[in-house]
Amino acid sequence: MARFVLSVVLFVVLPLQWYWAALALFIIAAGTDWVDGWYARKYNLVTKLGRILDPFCDKILICGSYILLAVEMEPLFPWYAKIAGWMAVVVVGRELLVTVLRSMIEGSGGDFSAKMAGKLKMWFQCFAVGSCLVALALKAGDASVEVPTWLWWFMIVSIWSSIFSTVHSGVLYIFGAAEFIGKPAP
C-alpha cells in the first residue's frame, strides 16, 4: 500500500514541476517493490492479496509516470529523446492486456506468474522514468539548459529499451496465454 500512496503523491508533485521530489518518490516507490517481494519470499508471506496488490501498484506507478512524463516532456525534448504519448499508450495497453490475461488464466486455476522478460521490462521502465525525471529537473525553469551527454544517451537508450521490452514481454505473455487457452480443460 505504501507504493500506492507514494505513487499518488508522485502524481501530485510531477505536474507541479517538483522533479527532484518526484524522482525521490519514484525511487522509494519502485524500491518498495523489491523490498516487498524479497520480504514475502524470505518469510513465506506470499498471499492472494499480495499477488493482486503488487502488480496493481506496479502498474499504477509505471503507467501514471509514463502518462504524466509524456505531458511534461512534450515541449522540451525531440521525438527520439522523450516519453511520447504513443509510448504511454503502448505501456498502458500492455499492462491492461497482461492483467486481463492473468485474471482469466489464474481464475481458471492456471499459473500466470511474472516472467523474467516482465521483470526486465520493469527495470528498463524504471530507468527510463528515473532518467527522464533527472533530465526534467535539470531543465526546470530554463528550457535552454543542456542535459549532460551521458544522461542524454542513457535516457534515449532506456526509453527505447523500455518500449521494446514492453512489446516483447507482452508478446511472450500472449503466446503463454494462447498455450494455456489451447489446452483441454481438466
> Could you read off the pLDDT of 157-176 as tens digits, one per residue?
999 999 999 999 999 999 98
The confidence score (pLDDT) of residue 33 equals 81
- As a 3-state breakdown, the chain gives helix, strand, coil percent values, each rounded to 5, of 80, 0, 20
In a domain, 186, yes or no: no
In a domain, 185, yes or no: no
The confidence score (pLDDT) of residue 82 equals 97
Structural domain including 128 reads 2-180
Concatenate the DSSP letters of all residues of 48-93 into one string.
HHHHHHHHHHHHHHHHHHHHHHHHHHTTTS-GGGS--HHHHHHHHH
Q: Does residue 4 carry a pLDDT above 80?
A: yes
Q: Does residue 84 carry a pLDDT above 90?
A: yes
> Could you read off the pLDDT of 90-134 as tens digits, one per residue?
999 999 999 898 888 877 877 777 788 988 999 999 999 999 999
The confidence score (pLDDT) of residue 102 equals 85
Residues whose CB falls within 8 Å of the CB of residue 80, separated by 6 or more in sequence, listed in order: 156
In a domain, 122, yes or no: yes
In a domain, 110, yes or no: yes
> Could you read off the pLDDT of 8-66 as tens digits, one per residue?
999 999 999 999 999 999 999 999 888 887 887 788 877 777 778 888 999 999 999 99
In a domain, 142, yes or no: yes
Global pTM reads: 0.91
In a domain, 160, yes or no: yes
Q: Does residue 69 carry a pLDDT above 80?
A: yes
Domain count, the chain: 1
Q: What is the CATH number of the domain that holds 46?
A: 1.20.120
